[in-house]
């Protein structure tokens, strides 16, 4: 592939045909197999017809998703900050307790902060809430932190 680009740079795109390009690349390539496929009648067309005519400006940057992502990230950091001020649990939660807690906490987060439908980026932060539940924090404690931040 690199040889094709070098060859394009060396020759005028409006004079060189696809057949000429193929033959040169095949001749200069010794570490792989250059093959022709598709409509071989296109070999008479000039390479320049496939290269595009001019540079286009990049589309405008779509900022709202980044702002939303930052807002979600900041919200989760604040929840973490509030949770770090809580007394650490003595024992870890069982899997059943963790799942019940996570369900309750997610429902609270959904109703007070963001839903996955509003902001798919929330999915990347749900593990934080799950981890607090698994560590043994109660759903009530985590829900209070969510209410403090998102109300």
Angle at 21 between CA 19 and CA 25, to 5 degrees: 120
| Domains of the chain by residue range | 2-50, 64-150
How long is the chain?
A: 151
| Residue pLDDT, tens place only, 36-73 | 888 889 989 888 787 766 677 766 665 567 788 888 89
pTM: 0.56
Residue 13 neighbours by CB under 8 Å, 6+ apart: 46, 47, 48, 51
Report d(CA 26, CA 17) in Å as an integer.
Answer: 14
User: For the residues 80-94, what does the mean pLDDT come to?
Assistant: 94
| Reported confidence tier of residue 75, pLDDT bands at 50, 70, 90 | very high
The larger pLDDT score, comparing residue 3 to residue 20, is at 20
Q: How far apart are CA 55 and CA 124, in angstroms?
A: 37
Which one is predicted more confidently, 20 or 14?
20
Residue 80, pLDDT score: 94
Band of residue 7 on the pLDDT scale cut at 50, 70, 90: low
Instruction: Give the residue with greater pLDDT, 59 vs 137.
Output: 137
Read off the pLDDT of each residue in 75-87 and give the average, rounded to a whole number: 93
CATH topology of domain 64-150: Topoisomerase I; Chain A, domain 4 (1.10.132)
Average per-residue pLDDT for the chain? 84
């Amino acid at each position: 592939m690199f040889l094709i680009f070098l060859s394009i740079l060396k020759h005028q795109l409006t004079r060189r045909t696809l057949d000429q390009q193929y033959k040169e690349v095949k001749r200069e390539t010794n570490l792989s197999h250059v093959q022709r496929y598709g409509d071989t009648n296109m070999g008479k067309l000039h390479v320049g017809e496939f290269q595009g005519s001019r540079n286009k400006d990049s589309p405008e940057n779509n900022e709202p998703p980044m702002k939303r992502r930052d807002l979600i990230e900041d919200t989760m950091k604040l929840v973490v900050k509030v949770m770090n001020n809580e007394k650490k649990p003595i024992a870890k939660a069982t899997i059943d307790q963790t799942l019940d807690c996570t369900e309750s906490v997610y429902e609270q987060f959904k109703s007070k902060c963001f839903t996955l439908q509003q902001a798919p980026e929330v999915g990347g932060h749900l593990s934080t809430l799950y981890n607090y539940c698994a560590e043994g924090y109660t759903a009530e404690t985590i829900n209070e932190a969510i209410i403090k931040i998102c109300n």
